Amino acid sequence: MGSFYIKGPRKLIGEVHISGSKNEALKLIPLSICLKSKIMIKNVPKILDIYSQLEVFKFLGGETEFNENLILDSKNIKKSNIVCESAKNLRASVVFLGPLLGRFKQAQIPFPGGCAIGLRPIDTHLNAFRALGVNVTQKDDIITLTLGDIKAEKIKLDEKSVSATENILLFLSGIKRKVSVLNCAIEPEIMHLVKILNRAGAKIRLIKDRTFEIEGSDNLTISSIKVMPDRIEAGTFAIAFLATGGEGMIKPFESEYLNNLIDILKNCGADIEIDRKNKMCRIKSTDIYRGFNIKTGPYPDFPTDLQSPMALIASRARGKSQIHETMFENRLGYLNSLGKMGLKYKILNRHRAEIYGPCDLKSSNLESLDLRSGITMLLASIMSRGESEIKNAEVIDRGYEDIEEKLIKLGANIKRSNG
């Protein structure tokens, strides 16, 4: 595994371009299995998770071409199982279940992996398929699904799971039957997927706050789609400018999907100007921030993927800031690493923590625990005096395209060693 070596402190100043959404692009690869023809996907980020998902697609027999755009052709796919190493190590591989089940009437996957941020069972996926009439069996770490008669007209997800919602949407979009699905996630990436599926020939409506009515088609066809900008990357850079005492322009910036973050940052004292027409955000730091309280939750609540970078704002804020992480029970572990850099904090329990500021951060040798804590360590090192080493650089590469090049362009002093 490689490492980043960072010399600080540095202020990040300049303009940054936001890549395509990791969380959307990962699900558009399984989508291609539902289609009758090849598809071109524009604005796909070149990140490790995408390459892993493409390895799964190629294991199935799919053909890919990935230059400026990603071209996928599923016509030669004959397998209905993804029992391979790439699938085991990637959480998003679970979303192959729905498309494979719809195409082959059966599917087999290994229990999926991903970031070590707590228990992430896929019971919500499996129970939803069971409710639709799918037989589910598990032997060791292999899960097998076999399609029976779909008789249900309405099912309810156990929780507002993003990937379970996407799995069921993809599956039902290829089935000629009308089914309502309750308690769905409604993240922007899901709503964009709904638009894509409707363009391909499905009929999907959001009939209540979290209820989709889905009427599928056995002839889904769409030739070209474009991945939306990554709202989590955009939010990360907004925090990065403020935490390092810098200023900059972020574009494209889909502000309507980040209202929660924008409101909190403004209340902390940040200077933020939004140009909705041109999808840009101009952001400027202040000398010291006010403390804040955040509580993560399913969209439109505060995104769990941005709570760890917010700890860096708390380190510069006057007084106490509070973090309530409701989504995952191990996502506060990064605070112990930031504590080695001088952060003053207290973990109250698995879901709650307090941070006491302001405090100066110092350099340290750390390890990326997961994708979002990894980017937090990287930004903390830019803020800190001295040279830091962040091990497991590839963990950050899983979700941020050209991260060191973007940060260097903004003034950071970063070198990578592939080790």
**Which amino acids are annotated catalytic?**
115
Whole-number Cα distances in Å, 366 to 53, 58, 370, 379: 28, 35, 12, 12
Cα(388)–Cα(393) distance, integer angstroms: 13
**Three-class DSSP category at 372:** helix
Cα(150)–Cα(165) distance, integer angstroms: 18
Instruction: Return all residues near 85 (Cβ < 8 A) that are at least 6 apart.
Output: none
Cα(168)–Cα(28) distance, integer angstroms: 14
Selection from 315, 416, 411, 417 nearest residue 8 by Cα: 411
373: left (phi over 0), alpha (psi -120 to 50) or beta: alpha
**Three-class DSSP category at 225:** strand
Instruction: Return all residues near 371 (Cβ < 8 A) that are at least 6 apart.
Output: 115, 395, 396, 398, 399
- What is the distance in angstroms between the CA of the first residue and the CA of the last residue of the chain? 6
